[in-house]
A and B are shown apart, each in its own frame.
Chain A
Amino acid sequence: MRRSFLASLVLALAGCGSTGGELLEFDAYAAGPEGRTAGEPYTFVTDRGYEVTLTTAKLHIGAVYLNQSVPTSVSSDTSCYLAGQYVAEIAGGADVDLLDPGLQPLSARGFGTTERAKTAEIWLSGGDIDADVDPTVIARVEGVATRGAETFPFDATITIGENRALEPSDPAQPGARPICKQRIVSPIEIDLRPEAGGSLVVRVDPAGWFDNVSFDELEQVDDSPPLYRFRDDSLDQPSRNLFNGLRANSGVYELEWVP
């Protein structure tokens, strides 16, 4: 009788219960916009009325993070990390062909918890998010933009390093604009809960990069054939807006949990 009671107690206690949540590993992919054929040019019309046809669109994703919190306001917080708890990460990215709607695996497996995620971050870096210099090509685009009779064959190569460093607007706050903030697309609104056996898909629509770009302000770098080129810095309007489009937290990046 007593032995059976003790045995029951052991069974009741040992291994029973949980601290809540679960850790899991998952696969992660990136892809271009859906509904297209891989390898074919991607044509779209921007908010400024340009019809853009991309023949090359590549993006280097450094890492992807999911967070359970939504920032409530814009604050002076200059930390590269969100205040809330991160629930999933893919701490390694890939060069993604955005003209290919097929799933392209990221270089690292995802790790996370089963907590619900409300925001996401895309890190556009080759490694250290705080490095002053990072030669990694984050984005590379080629294409043609037309508006009426105007035609702008263009290309752009975007890196994020000293060329994107911002001077502090207030000398009393020299650390208000760290380079890490230039490398992070955040917060991207999502609502998903990682589950065992599923995978994360990041779809990137490069059309959103060009929404505010005025191609007619681009510098022409070649006459024959004509070629307009975005600067790899933020010193002119089109280049600055393309970079801002690259870092837009809505309309460009969509994250989906695929069971």
Chain B
Amino acid sequence: MRRWSSLSLSVALAAALAPRSALAQPLPAEPHPPNDPTDAPPPAGATPPKVKTSAEPQYPPGRLSDEHHHHDPLPELDVEIEVTIDETGKVIGAKVLASGGADFDAEAIEAAKAFTFEPATEKGKPVRSRFHLPFHFEPPPHAEPEVVEVVGKRPPPTRGAGDYRIDVGNLAIVPRKSAAELLKLAPSVFLLKDGGGEGHADRVYLRGFDAREGQDIEFTVGGVPMNDAGNYHGNGYADLNFIIPELVTRLRVLEGPFDPRQGNFAVAGSADYELGLDRRGLTAKATYGSFNTARLLMLWGPDGQSPRTFAGAEIFRSDGFGENRESWRARAMGQFEGRLGNDASFRISAGGYATQYESAGLLRQSDVDAGKVDFFGTSDANQGGSAARFHLSADFEVKTGETTYGLQAFGVYRSLSLRENFTGSLLDEQLPRQELHGQRGDLLDLQTTAGTFGLRGYGRHSFEVLGLKQDLELGMFARGDLVSALQQRVGADTDDPYLTEADLDSKLADLGLYADAAVRFTKWLTLRGGVRVDLFAYDVQDNCAVTDVSRPSEDDPPGDASCLSQQRFGDHREPNQHSTTASIRPLPRVSLLLGPFAGFSFSAAYGQGVRSVDPSYVTQSVATPFAAIDAGEVGVSYAKSFELATLGVQSVFFATHVDRDQIFSETEGRATLAEGTTRAGWAGSVRSTGDFFDLSASVTLVQSRFDDTGLLVPYVPDVVVRHDGALFHDLFPIAGSPVSGKLGIGASFVGERALPYGQRSDVIFGLDAAVSMAWRFLELELAGTNLLNLEQKQAEFNYVSDFDATNPATLVPARHFAASQPIGVFGSISGTLGGDR
């Protein structure tokens, strides 16, 4: 985000700087109602505070980034902020008296906090006081923007109605177990835990895609890639659990591959988390609640720094809501944002995360019905896992004339260990060369480690043609991954590995170049798009390429070893196989944007996307296979600021085709390639913010079908409905300081999901809520999840398993499920030292 003085923001600073004593007054002994500014003169012997240094708010960058608005009437409005000034003249509190909408309010508050004052006095002594700051926002004149201050990064321009820019804002009060659940603020998104455990990546559904653990969504955090390329469990596995939710300020969820900046895994779309911390000072928060859950959180927002400079750390543990669900977690994140002169900014961010957890896995419905296992029990208590992630990123952005250059470098190390048993005791095939054995259990033990390093950069140039601003951006993305994966089966009785299913060492490269242009034909018609070209290169060492030999050596039989060094009557060969391959994929993407007309904007978009495959599918000198995606949408959006509220509405019809979908294989314990699929649907969303409320709701209807048979793609819900709402207001004063209250409610409805063999899952309904009260530096919060205490199944599957080896095997598909959490209640207390409290 940039501060554009001419953009601006003609802040009514003159009002603030000029004698405006009527707007300021020392705090009275008897507190006034917080929102009751008075024009009465200050008491005798009192002097009002005086402005020492001022600050200008920026016009909300999210509005400016919507560049097709440049020639159209962006709102011109006023926001009034009341600041509380302490005895030293420092602003210690700020609240909105007259709102202009959440984004305008946030910018105004940020500017207000940057003011410094000569303190008010009473009888010659400095006292606390309040001061009203009116800010006037004007959209910037388009022709010659003048940069006066550079902070943050400029967000990429919109691609249409399905390009959702989401300020978390006051909706942060809605209970969420993880940062992944913030995705629910975007329509079409539905998440669940499928029994993998607390530290397992969430299963994500988006626009009719069962994106599993993120394989079909390109996830980034501040531009740092989150998807694990080459992950054997699922290529593109994205574990968002390392993100501290309180540090997420905004998301961009682009549903569909419509932006040339989107790269690998942007099948259903992409999601970028923007981190920040509005609350300055040092905050400590302790939470305790159901299931012996305890959490300690520390957040630090250094005074005088931007909200994008912060640090946070957390330690968490829980017994979990049933058998074998204990978990431990620690994570830390930090970022520093600085300026280099007036034209450049940079950010350095780092994070660390480690977790260990047990998981209940999936249960057979018939076992639960028969009383063999409890609804919240487990069929294999050896399931669980661990994960770690460490990353470092630095980015730099500078504007030179009409051109902006940006460069980001990042490095990520991560490890993942998964122990999952989907099928019980079914898959341990007796091979002739093996000693006789029965079923030793199907517990999968997957261990992966990966190192990622990469760069992304761009140059964006603006120029005028026919009196209209045109843009051209050229960019690059380069990413390398060193990945090792070992998947074994572990004996249920011995806990020893008895079979190696995969042992891969891979070097992956993904290099992408893109060009993105905005061509404005008229003030109301913009064609935006370009092309991206990605090259995927694989160098795979399969350390267990030979797993069977039909005629082994009679003198030296291989026995029970998994990775064999024999072929053809015992001829020696090493068990490994080396393969290299590469291929290129051009990806055109274009959006047509019309409007706005009286607040309505119309858009149509088409794009192609790509998803690479995991290294197990690579064959020497055969072009790297990948999934190709074609997507299109048409939509309309409406944005309007009213006196009491802002309103944003989107309606999008969409269709996406992928030529190689991924379907979860219970026998392999991972996502495997399947036939082509097509999905089509509609998504509608609305969000309205005002002085005391922030409400968001969305509905998605979609169907996904296989191309060859026309049958439904399993596990994808037809209907997803989501509501997030927050109410907030000052309630009453204590000792001259207001007690502010918040109420947050989140509700989800997920319709029946198609399951294999013509089955349908149960619907899911969740209701979560939280209330909080804050006074000065203290805040108390009470949160409840699944408040209706519905006994629900989260994930449901139909497949073959056998968890009782002593009886005749069960070999036909049966219903399995992962239990949803029962009601949970969690209390928190937090305190903030310094900052604006």
Contacts and interface: CB of A to CB of B under 8 A. Distances in A.
Interface of A: 6, 9-10, 13-23, 62-63, 65, 76, 78-81, 86-89, 91-93, 111-113, 123, 125, 127-131, 170-176, 178-180
25 contacts: A14-B718, A14-B719, A16-B718, A17-B703, A17-B705, A19-B713, A19-B714, A20-B711, A23-B757, A65-B812, A76-B432, A76-B550, A78-B430, A86-B811, A89-B808, A89-B810, A125-B808, A130-B439, A131-B438, A172-B433, A172-B552, A174-B434, A175-B431, A176-B432, A179-B436
Interface stretch (B351-359, B405-413, B748-756): B748-756
Interface stretch (B52-60, B114-122, B799-807): B799-807
Given A15-B718, A170-B554, A178-B436, A65 B429 contact: no
B618 to A, nearest CB: 26
B5 interface: no
B712 A19 contact: yes
B567 to A, nearest CB: 14
A10, A14, A113, A172: which has the most chain B beta carbons within 10 Å?
A: A172
Given A21-B756, A170-B554, A13 B808 contact: no
A209 B207 CA distance: 60
Interface string B547-564: 000101110010000000
A41 B767 CA distance: 69
A145 B559 CA distance: 47
A23 B719 contact: no
B711, B719, B758, B808: which has the most chain A beta carbons within 10 Å?
A: B808
Contacts of B805: 128, 130
Contacts of A171: 554, 557
B435 A113 contact: no
A208 B798 CA distance: 39
Nearest to B548: A76
Nearest to B700: A13
Contact of A16 (B435, B437, B438, B703): B703
A123 B812 contact: no
A123 B439 CA distance: 16
Contacts of B810: 89, 91, 111
Contact of A18 (B435, B711, B807, B809): B711
B550 A13 contact: no
Closest 7 CB pairs of A and B: A130-B438, A63-B808, A172-B557, A173-B432, A86-B811, A176-B432, A175-B434
B812 A87 contact: yes
Contacts of A63: 808-809
A23 B759 contact: yes
Given A9-B701, A62-B808, A86-B812, A18 B433 contact: no
Nearest to A82: B811
A15 B812 contact: no
B172 interface: no
B578 interface: no
Contacts of B709: 20
A178 B436 CA distance: 6
A91 B805 CA distance: 12
Given A19-B711, A65-B811, A130-B439, A13 B756 contact: no
B169 to A, nearest CB: 28
B754 to A, nearest CB: 5
B812 A89 contact: yes
Interface in B242-262: none
B391 to A, nearest CB: 39
A14 B753 CA distance: 10
B681 interface: yes
A166 to B, nearest CB: 10
Interface string B809-828: 11111100000000000000
Contacts of B701: 9-10, 13-14
B702 interface: yes
B760 interface: yes
B682 interface: yes
A87 B681 CA distance: 33
Nearest to B558: A172
Contacts of B755: 19
Contact of A175 (B432, B554, B712): B432
Given A13-B681, A19-B713, A127-B807, 11 more contacts: A9-B682, A14-B718, A19-B711, A19-B755, A23-B758, A65-B812, A78-B430, A89-B808, A89-B810, A131-B438, A172-B553
Interface string B733-762: 000000000000000000110111111100
A14 B751 contact: yes
A9 B699 CA distance: 12
A132 to B, nearest CB: 9
Contact of B754 (A19, A89, A128, A129): A19
Contacts of B751: 14-15
A10 B719 contact: yes
